[in-house]
């Protein structure tokens, strides 16, 4: 599945890479209200296209796509971004790990990531692991995989840069097996310092809120049980 918004320059190549690496897979593009030719180009390259009439955000695009696969009884679903940030070749690793996992998330080679991105991810990862008692090496990678169980049970998907943390938080809450596999990543642009700071703080606040709620629920369960 490929959630996409105004990615007409790259969507065709992403679809073709997915087809080349996963020739038997259904390639689904969720066009999240694009104002360009994203959906049209994806369809011409052989993808099944679902369209939001207005832009709702990546989280809602994921929900739409996951619901499509859920209703049709798919065993596994892989997710890749539409901007060529990730390589479709790494989806093979995602699907291999799904044979023994509920959720699979890529783990990026951080030596290839700009310093500001590394710093932000360090803050998020450290906070998440501390509050949820986990040891994830990456908590914000957009290359993902869902098992049939995860398709059924993961519902609380948020938008923006919170997407991946919200998925991991629910997976941990529901005692799902989460596996990470190393993946490549390419960054095409770096956010301004002001925008980057807002993003880091916004995701951190979400992690703190959900992590503290998780800890309180665990503590209550321990004493009430």
The 10s digit of each residue's pLDDT in 13-70 is 999 999 999 999 999 999 999 999 999 999 999 999 999 999 999 999 999 999 999 9
Q: What residues contact 196, with CB distance under 8 A and at least 6 apart?
A: 116, 120, 190
Segments making up each domain of the chain, as ranges: 2-114+137-189
Burial 11-28 (b: 16+ CB within 10 A, else e): bbebbebbbeebeebebb
CA dihedral for 123, 81, 105, 131, sign (positive or negative)? positive
Average pLDDT, the chain: 92
Confidence of residue 159 (pLDDT cuts 50, 70, 90): confident
pTM given for the model: 0.91
Bridge pairing between strands 76-79 and 178-183: unpaired
pLDDT of 103 above 70 = yes
Fold of 2-114+137-189: Spore Coat Polysaccharide Biosynthesis Protein SpsA; Chain A (3.90.550)
Assign 136 to helix, strand or coil: coil
């Amino acid at each position: 599945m490929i959630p996409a918004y105004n990615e007409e320059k790259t969507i065709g190549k992403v679809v073709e890479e997915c087809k080349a690496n996963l020739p038997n897979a259904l390639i689904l593009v969720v066009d999240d209200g694009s104002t360009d030719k994203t959906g049209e180009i994806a369809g011409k390259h052989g993808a099944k296209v679902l369209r939001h009439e207005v832009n709702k955000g990546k989280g809602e695009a994921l929900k739409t796509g996951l619901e499509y696969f859920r209703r049709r009884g798919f065993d596994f679903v892989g997710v890749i971004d539409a901007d060529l940030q990730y390589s479709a070749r790494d989806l093979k690793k995602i699907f291999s790990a799904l044979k023994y996992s509920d959720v699979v998330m890529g783990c990026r080679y951080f030596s290839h990531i700009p310093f500001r991105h590394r710093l932000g991810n360090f803050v998020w990862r450290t906070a998440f692991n501390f509050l949820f008692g986990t040891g994830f090496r990456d908590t914000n990678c957009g290359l993902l995989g869902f098992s049939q169980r995860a398709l059924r049970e993961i519902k609380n998907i948020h938008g923006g840069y919170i997407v991946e943390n919200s998925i991991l938080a629910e997976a941990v809450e529901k005692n799902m097996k989460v596996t990470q596999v190393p993946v490549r990543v390419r960054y095409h642009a770096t956010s301004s310092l002001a925008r980057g700071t807002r993003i880091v703080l916004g995701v951190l606040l979400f992690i703190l809120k959900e992590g503290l709620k998780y800890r309180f629920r665990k503590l209550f369960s321990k004493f009430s049980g």
